[in-house]
């Protein structure tokens, strides 16, 4: 089931990337293209049948996993900035693009690189599962979740507020609900990681499910945007 969901999520991300390609060429709203393109890279490299040959080309040092982590950091920075602005939440925008947000992003990025360099990870291993007993790898995995969870937690209140408000059109509330659920699932994933239970499959399910919700939410946001001129 997890494997099927991985390929479904990758297909959705690739379709969304292709959908935004004309906008990239025209120079209009390029941010969405890069969000979906980077998400496609992260999802693709989370699939073992893609990860292994790519990492082999990179020398079988698991550099592909670093690409996944950094791609997700970029996705969440771009996405959180756009969502905070779209839902008129200056507090959320400040926490993402202000000094604190940039400090968390920089610290997470440096932490990823340092812990990776300090780890013995020779030989390709999707998710670094073969090296989980190393303290530096454990730290690497936690840091990899830190920034995405930080950004997601900031966006849950702003999107949930719109989803529950009767003052917005149904499509806007649906978009906000999808985004809020996606960000909430990212936070739940971190909580489950803390639990001393074998929840690996559930974490994967929630991780890819969160991407589907966010992709659906962003698509609905854009649909709402393009239909407004026709209604005016």
Other CB atoms within a 10 A radius of the CB of residue 50 amount to 18
Q: What pLDDT does residue 228 have?
A: 55
pLDDT cut 90: percent of the chain above it: 52
Q: What is the DSSP letter of 118?
A: T
Residue with tokens 């407004």: 228
**What are the tens digits of pLDDT across the range 36-55?**
899 999 999 999 999 999 99
Closest CA to 222 of 13, 10, 16, 14: 16
Check whether 196 has a pLDDT greater than 80.
no
In this prediction, residue 198 has a pLDDT band, given cuts at 50, 70 and 90, of: low
Question: 52-86 burial string, b = 16+ CB within 10 Å, else e?
Answer: eebbeeeeeebbbbbbbbbbbbbbbbbbbbbbbeb
Q: What pLDDT does residue 229 have?
A: 47
Q: What is the mean pLDDT of the chain?
A: 87
Helix (H, G, I), strand (E, B) or coil at 106: helix
Helix (H, G, I), strand (E, B) or coil at 110: helix
Position with higher pLDDT, 25 vs 62: 62
Check whether 232 has a pLDDT greater than 50.
no
Q: How far is CA 175 from CA 34, 55, 182, 202, 221, in A?
A: 20, 36, 11, 25, 6
**What are the tens digits of pLDDT across the range 139-194?**
999 999 889 999 999 999 989 998 998 878 888 899 899 999 999 999 998 888 77
From CA 142, how far away is CA 139, in angstroms rounded? 5
């Amino acid at each position: 089931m997890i494997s099927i969901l991985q390929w479904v999520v990758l297909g959705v991300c690739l379709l969304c990337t292709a959908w935004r390609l004309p906008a990239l060429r025209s120079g209009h709203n390029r941010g969405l293209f890069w969000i979906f393109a980077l998400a496609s890279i992260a999802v693709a490299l989370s699939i073992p049948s893609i990860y292994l040959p790519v990492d082999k080309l990179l020398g079988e040092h698991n550099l592909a996993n670093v690409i996944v982590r950094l791609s997700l950091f970029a996705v969440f920075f771009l996405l959180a900035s756009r969502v905070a602005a779209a839902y008129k939440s200056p507090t959320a925008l400040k926490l993402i693009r202000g000094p604190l947000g940039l400090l968390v992003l920089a610290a997470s990025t440096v932490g990823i690189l340092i812990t990776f360099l300090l780890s013995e990870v020779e030989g390709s291993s999707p998710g670094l599962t073969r090296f989980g007993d190393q303290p530096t790898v454990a730290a690497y995995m936690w840091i990899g979740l830190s920034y995405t969870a930080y950004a997601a937690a900031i966006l849950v209140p702003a999107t949930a507020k719109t989803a529950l408000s009767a003052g917005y059109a149904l499509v806007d509330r649906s978009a906000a609900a999808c985004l809020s659920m996606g960000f909430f699932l990212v936070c739940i994933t971190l909580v489950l990681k803390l639990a001393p239970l074998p929840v690996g499959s559930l974490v994967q399910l929630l991780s890819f499910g969160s991407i589907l919700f966010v992709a659906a939410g962003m698509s609905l946001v854009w649909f709402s945007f393009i239909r407004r001129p026709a209604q005016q």
